[in-house]
Chains A and B, each alone.
Chain A
Amino acid sequence: AQSVTQLDSQVPVFEEAPVELRCNYSSSVSVYLFWYVQYPNQGLQLLLKYLSGSTLVKGINGFEAEFNKSQTSFHLRKPSVHISDTAEYFCAIQTGANNLFFGTGTRLTVIP
């Protein structure tokens, strides 16, 4: 069985401060890893993905994530957040063709 756990349901952070959104997964097979972002009143869109190779992956809007196989984690980071980063962020894993599983989401609120 596979699962995705996002440890924080809500993360408030001040503007220009760094942020880390945590994601852990469980799977008996190898996975691909994704982060999706949902801006207010919109659908989800892909932020970044890890397929193989370098464990540090860069995405859009200055976000990056690091894959840690031993800790089965894929935490999302940004060194300095902006008001426009306020959104809900979803971690997801793919375990096979068309088998995509999402975490329940982390709501990031950037405080001016």
Chain B
Amino acid sequence: DSGVTQTPKHLITATGQRVTLRCSPRSGDLSVYWYQQSLDQGLQFLIHYYNGEERAKGNILERFSAQQFPDLHSELNLSSLELGDSALYFCASSVVSGGVTEAFFGQGTRLTVV
């Protein structure tokens, strides 16, 4: 158990809909990363938050947005869903120790768009 909790584990929804994925980082970790993992594109970095502020953006579509709340949990919002958005979405939190970042991943949310 990594200590990172993602809910829900599975989500099935229709095209055009909007969903929210939730991530609770490990206690004390200030950073949250979101990744999308699909069969054809592998692991793609979406966005990184640190202590409530956006730090870096990757290949995140405009239809997607995220935020990190004061209690450090994070939500990834996906809207106007398309079939191609079906993927495994991972959240990771990280700790910096001696200048080295180690990431701890949740089990992921499997999103299926039908």
Interface residues of A (CB under 8 A from B): 9, 32, 34, 36, 41-46, 49, 51, 90, 92, 94, 97-105
Contact = CB atoms under 8 A, between A and B. Distances in A.
Contacts of B37: 105
B90 A9 contact: no
Tell me if B's interface is mostly helix, strand, loop or mixed: strand
Interface of B: 2, 4, 31, 33, 35, 37, 41-45, 48, 50, 55-56, 90, 92, 94, 96, 99-103, 105-108
B68 to A, nearest CB: 13
Nearest to B50: A98
Tell me if A's interface is mostly helix, strand, loop or mixed: strand
Given A43-B106, A99-B56, A105 B45 contact: no
Contacts of A9: 42
Nearest to B31: A98
Given A98-B50, A99-B56, A104 B103 contact: no
Given A97-B101, A98-B55, A104-B43, A43 B94 contact: no
A97 B107 contact: no
Given A98-B94, A100-B33, A51 B100 contact: yes
Contacts of A103: 42-43
A44 B42 contact: no
A59 to B, nearest CB: 13
14 contacts: A9-B42, A42-B107, A43-B2, A43-B90, A46-B102, A49-B102, A94-B101, A98-B31, A99-B101, A100-B94, A100-B103, A101-B45, A104-B42, A105-B37
A98 B42 contact: no
Contacts of B50: 98
Contact of A104 (B31, B41, B48, B96): B41
Nearest to A51: B100
